[in-house]
Chains A and B, each alone.
Chain A
Amino acid sequence: KQEVTQIPAALSVPEGENLVLNCSFTDSAIYNLQWFRQDPGKGLTSLLLIQSSQREQTSGRLNASLDKSSGRSTLYIAASQPGDSATYLCAGGDYGQNFVFGPGTRLSVLP
């Protein structure tokens, strides 16, 4: 059974810093890996999706990588801004179209 963990659980950084959020999964037969952000009281917004055949995806200041062999994905946020403050969740999807979510990392970017 796939299990997904995220480290750290919470992170507070000053504005402008580059930061890395970590996601680990136990089943390397992952089919894809998605990163989402969740704002308080809101649903999830998809940020990036990496298929198992890919190594990374980029969108603006965000870059996500996937290393199936080590069971890890990282989300890199460049030049962080207060508007980046949110909870970031990763989710591993299998070929059977089931997704397992991590518990999230709560990010605070201080102005």
Chain B
Amino acid sequence: GAGVSQSPSNKVTEKGKDVELRCDPISGHTALYWYRQSLGQGLEFLIYFQGNSAPDKSGLPSDRFSAERTGGSVSTLTIQRTQQEDSAVYLCASSSRVAGAPDTQYFGPGTRLTVL
């Protein structure tokens, strides 16, 4: 595709509900990242996928957060039992990095999550 796409662009949910956020990376990119950006804050790393390796989940804030990447392409970030502090913009990025050589990240437009 032309770039990284994310869906939905906006999501409003009630506290306690589960949500799924989707990321379609640039075709052929092996690395995929999820970040969270709260209002007025910098980007907070959540999780990183590289090829078929086990993902780096060190940034996930709690066990309510999980992510998977199917077939090395599309990724889904799931937040269970959402809380109001989960409200943020969730950004996905991909890169064509080779192992051990970080490469330029290309970001999607983000999903704005609002938990009421």
Contacts and interface: CB of A to CB of B under 8 A. Distances in A.
A103 B102 contact: no
B91 A43 contact: yes
Interface in B70-116: 91, 93, 97, 100, 102-110
A44 B56 contact: no
Interface stretch (B11-19, B43-51, B61-69): B43-51
Contacts of A91: 43, 105
Nearest to B97: A97
B1 interface: no
Interface string A39-59: 000111110010000000000
A105 to B, nearest CB: 11
Contacts of A89: 42-43
B49 to A, nearest CB: 10
Interface in A93-111: 93, 95-104
B4 interface: yes
Interface of B: 4, 31, 33, 35, 41-45, 48, 50, 56, 58, 91, 93, 97, 100, 102-110
Interface of A: 4, 31-32, 34, 36, 42-46, 49, 89, 91, 93, 95-104
22 contacts: A31-B102, A42-B110, A43-B91, A46-B104, A46-B105, A49-B104, A89-B42, A91-B43, A91-B105, A95-B102, A96-B56, A97-B48, A97-B50, A97-B97, A98-B45, A98-B56, A100-B45, A101-B42, A101-B43, A102-B42, A103-B42, A104-B42
